[in-house]
Amino acid sequence: MRERVEREIEKLKELNLYRDLKDIESPPGKKLRIGKVELLNFSSNDYLGLAKEYDCECLRKWGAGSGASRLICGNFKVHRDLEKELAKIKRCQDSLLFSTGYMANLGVISTLAEEKDLILSDELNHASIIDGCRLSKAEKVIYPHKDYSFVKEFLKKNRHKYRDCFIITDSVFSMDGDIAPLDELFKVKDEFGCVLIVDDAHATGVIGYSSLELFGLEPDENTVIVGTLGKALGTFGAFVSGSSQLREYLINRCRTFIYTTALPPFIACQTLKNLEKVKGRMEELKEKISFFREFTKIESESAIFPLIVEDEATALRLSNYLFERGFFVPAIRPPTVKKSRLRITITWEHTKEELKQLWSAIDGFMKGGRAPEI
């Protein structure tokens, strides 16, 4: 094995696809300290700047761990309180907490979509959705990005061959920041009797409490919303919102819910505290998003701004160039995305001045500012 792995690592380095981890010495937030360098962070999903905030009361009351899975003795009242609050913001009957969004998607998809069923999944969906589809025994069709006429055509011809049908999409796509037109998807779902599973990871607390709000849609019994706590909500973990029956079913059948340690209750407690701060900060973030979009002309409807560059090497050079000038904007390369890019995320913490500074540094590179060869 050793030689094969060594060869693979060499190959990644040659292709400019090698990755490594940077040890950050400061708490999460807009300023990061790596070694002696301090950087302005434009890569975080901590959209509302909540990740470094804490209330000691939560830790004092609940301790740091959870002791067991929810079904054994790891289910605390504060989990339930949070689930009810999350259901409220998603305008659903109920919700169920998961330990991560990755596990929520894996679990909900593979539990609901079984043999004889059909899954239609957007080609740019998050890796956890892709893996959830892989784990499911349903038939899978990956449709071109937001191409709902493709979805309709397929369903017209083939819907009758399947029992249940699931359409799965990110609401805010994580690498491009664009939004799925859920109003169109709702029509398809209703016309063909499908269930719509929406992943709100980058939407919750950024474009609204729920992506459905944006389109004036109300969730019904055929709507499932996956949300995460580790992004705008500032803590860790995830949840699935839908009908009370869905919650009941997942508790009984979903393996990624059943066979894992419960989210520590203090995290549920902290998330409840954070929820109180969401509304105000979200409005302020939206204003910053419009401001940044106007002067960069990067098309994005969320806090994620993709700056597409010609190749992996340019992405790395630009990222290094910005690093040397005090900006942390990592290069995102294949296989995470098809086209290499810098993925800029802006947060509630950034000032308009800082947003301008980043853009003028990028401008410097584009106008031939010398990037270090690597």
Binding residues vs ligand PLP (CB under 6 A): 100-102, 105, 126, 128, 170, 174, 199, 201-202, 228, 230, 238
Given the complex with ligand PLP, which of 89 and 362 has the nearer CB atom? 89
- Decide: 272 and 229 in contact? Cβ < 8 Å: no
Of 134, 138, 98, residue with least CA distance to 116:
138
Given the complex with ligand PLP, which of 203 and 361 has the nearer CB atom? 203
**DSSP β-bridge partners for residue 37:** 34
Given the complex with ligand PLP, which of 313 and 337 has the nearer CB atom? 337
The least CB distance from residue 94 to ligand PLP, in Å, is 20
Of 290, 298, 297, residue with least CA distance to 352:
290
Given the complex with ligand PLP, which of 170 and 178 has the nearer CB atom? 170
CB nearest ligand PLP: which residue? Answer: 101
Residue 128 CA, chain-centre distance (Å), reads 10
Given the complex with ligand PLP, which of 204 and 314 has the nearer CB atom? 204
**Tokens (6 digits) for 245:** 């029956």
Of 227, 304, 263, residue with least CA distance to 45:
304
Given the complex with ligand PLP, which of 194 and 201 has the nearer CB atom? 201
Given the complex with ligand PLP, which of 228 and 274 has the nearer CB atom? 228
d(CA 284, CA 286): 5
The least CB distance from residue 76 to ligand PLP, in Å, is 20
Beta strands in 4-123 (DSSP E): 31-34, 37-41, 94-98, 118-122
The least CB distance from residue 365 to ligand PLP, in Å, is 27
- Decide: 271 and 277 in contact? Cβ < 8 Å: no
Given the complex with ligand PLP, which of 205 and 230 has the nearer CB atom? 230
**Tokens (6 digits) for 198:** 């929406």
The least CB distance from residue 106 to ligand PLP, in Å, is 10
DSSP 171: S
The least CB distance from residue 199 to ligand PLP, in Å, is 5
Is the N-terminal amide bond of 265 cis, ω within 30° of 0?
no
The least CB distance from residue 167 to ligand PLP, in Å, is 15
The least CB distance from residue 149 to ligand PLP, in Å, is 24
The least CB distance from residue 133 to ligand PLP, in Å, is 13
Residue type, 365: F
The least CB distance from residue 128 to ligand PLP, in Å, is 5
- Decide: 51 and 31 in contact? Cβ < 8 Å: no
**Tokens (6 digits) for 113:** 């979509």
Given the complex with ligand PLP, which of 45 and 314 has the nearer CB atom? 45
d(CA 108, CA 133): 10
Q: Where are the alpha helices (DSSP H) in 15-147?
A: 56-62, 77-90, 101-112, 127-135
**Long-range pairs for 189-192 at CB < 8 Å and ≥24 separation?**
189/222, 189/223, 191/152, 191/155, 192/152, 192/155, 192/159, 192/165
